Amino acid sequence: MTLPLEKIVVLDLSRILAGPFCTMMLGDLGAEVIKVERPGTGDDTRTWGPPFAGGESAYYLAVNRNKRSLTLNLTHPEGKRIGRELARQSDVLVENFSPGVAEKLGMGWSDLHRINPRLIYCSITGYGPDGPYRDRTGYDMVVSAVGGLMGITGEEEGGPVKVGVAITDVTTGIMAQGAIMTALFHREKTGLGQRIDLSLLETQVASLANIASNYLVANQEARRWGTAHESIVPYQAFRAKDGYVTVAAANDKLWLRLCKVLRRQDLAENPAYSTNALRVQHRKELVPILAEEFGKKTREQWMEDLVAEGIPCGPINSMESLFRDPQVLHRRMLEEVDHPSIGKLKLTGIPVKYSEVKPCIRRPPPLLGEHTGEILRDFLGESDAEIRRLREEQIV
C-alpha cells in the first residue's frame, strides 16, 4: 500500500526527543528519513540509560523507528559537502542545533534555500532564534518550568513537580510534524519550500490552553491541584482498597449517577452539592467524604459499578498494567519488530489510524551508522572505494 509521504526525503539533523519524535511520525507515514549522527557517539540518547537492550538505550529506541542512520562529520569540509548534497536532494530538513550552529556548518536556511528552493527547513530551538533567551540551552524540564507547566503540576499543598514524561518535547515534535505537513501542502500550490521556526517555549505556552486563558481573561492565577480539576468537582483520583481510580463527574447528571453508585442519596439531595459550581465551592468538605467511600472497595469493583452507570472512570495504570490493557492491545498500541542486535523488540504502536492507508513500522531503530554506505551509494553515487576512504578519514 502506498503511504502518503512515500518518496518524500527527510534529512534529520536533530537529536534527543522533539526533533526525532517529529521525524519518526513522518517516517511512520512513509517518508525516507535519513538520520544524520556524529561519528563514534551518535544521538545523545543512545547513552541515556539504563535500561539498555542489545547495546541500545530504551530512550533512543522509543523515537527512532522508520529511519536510516548515517554518521557524518559536518565540521569537516568534505562532511559539509556531503551534508549539502543530501540537503539538495531532500524535501524536508529538521534540525535542533543551538541558534547559529547550522549556519556555521554551512547548513543554515539561507545556504540551503539557494541550492534547493523546494526544501522545507524546520528549525526547533529551546526559546527561539532571537530574543533575550536566544542563546540558552533548551531542555524539557527547564522549559516546562519557564513555560508555566511545572508551576501548575503537583499536589495542592506540595511543591512543583515535572510531568512524568518530557511532554514539552513531545508536543513540540507533534507541532513540528503538523507544520511540516502544512508546508508540504503549501509547496504543492506554490512549488516553494519555506523555513519553519518553532521552539519548546512557544509550544509550551500555547499548550496551557484554558489555564492561560483563565489568567488572560480573568486575571486568575493558576495553582497546583494534584489530580483534581479547579473548575469541576469531583474530577480526580481516589484511593480504592488496592490502588487508585479516576472519576470524572463532569456535569450534574453524572454527579447524581455517582451518588447512586456510592449509595449516598443524601449527597444527591444536599443543596450544597446540587450544582457543579456549588460542589467547587464546597470542595474541601465534599472530597474527603467521597474519598472515604472509595476506600471501601477494590478498583475492579468500582470500575464495574462506575462503568455500568456510564460514569467516566479509569484505573491509574502502571506500565505493566497499561500494556496488558485490552483496549490498548486491541488498538495495536503494542508492536513487535525484528532488530539486528536485540531480536524481537517491543515498541509503542502508531496512534493515528486511516481508512485508506496503513502506516506501519517498516524499519527498527537503526544501529549507529548502520546505513552509511547504502545512503552514500543511493543518494550520492559514491563508490565502495570512496566510502572506504571517507571512513578511514573519519568523515563518516
- When pLDDT is averaged across residues 277-287 and rounded to a whole number, the result is 97
Is the domain of 33 the same as that of 172?
A: yes
State yes or no: pLDDT of 44 exceeds 90. yes
Tell me the CATH number at 292. 3.30.1540.10
User: Domain range spanning residue 59?
Assistant: 9-207+335-392
Give every CB contact of residue 246 below 8 A, 6+ residues apart in sequence. 227, 236, 237, 238, 313, 314, 315, 316
Cell of 137: 540551552
- What is the number of domains present in the chain? 2
User: Which of 317, 349, 383 marks a domain boundary?
Assistant: 317
Of the candidates 12, 28, 43, 169, the residue annotated as catalytic is 169
Query: pLDDT band for position 172 (50/70/90)?
Result: very high
Residues 255 and 293 in one domain: yes
Residue 378 has pLDDT above 80, yes or no: yes
Domain boundary among 255, 283, 317: 317
Same domain as 24, residue 145: yes
* pLDDT at position 43 over 90: yes
Q: Give the residue carrying C-alpha cell 495542592.
A: 156
Average pLDDT score, the chain: 97
| Inside any domain, residue 329 | no
CB within 8 Å of 207: residues ≥ 6 apart:
149, 168, 171
289 lies in some domain? yes
Same domain, 153 and 285: no
Interval 289-347: pLDDT, tens: 999 999 999 999 999 999 999 999 999 999 999 999 999 999 999 999 999 999 999 99
**Residue 169 bears catalytic tag:** yes
Q: Does residue 242 fall inside a structural domain?
A: yes
- Please indicate, yes or no, whether residues 310 and 377 belong to a single structural domain of this protein: no
Q: Is 174 helix (H, G, I), strand (E, B) or coil?
A: helix
The answer on 341 and 313 residing in a single domain is: no
Together in a domain, 33 and 108: yes
- What is the CATH classification number for the domain harbouring 94? 3.40.50.10540
Neighbours of 356 (CB within 10 A): 7
The last residue of a domain, from among 255, 289, 317: 317
Considering the domain architecture, whether residues 90 and 122 belong to the same structural domain is answered as yes
User: Residue 42 domain-assigned?
Assistant: yes
Residue 27 lies inside a defined structural domain of this protein: yes
Residue corresponding to grid cell 541500545: 56
Asked whether residue 56 falls in the same domain as residue 160, the answer is yes
Q: What is the pLDDT of residue 1?
A: 74
CB atoms within 10 A of CB 241: 13
Same domain, 55 and 155: yes
Counting residues of the chain whose pLDDT is more than 90, the rounded percentage is 99
Residue 213, domain member (yes or no)? no
pLDDT in tens, 48-68: 999 999 999 999 999 999 999
Tens digits of residue pLDDT in 66-125: 999 999 999 999 999 999 999 999 999 999 999 999 999 999 999 999 999 999 999 999
Cα angle, residue 328 at apex, residues 308 and 333 outer, rounded to 5°: 160
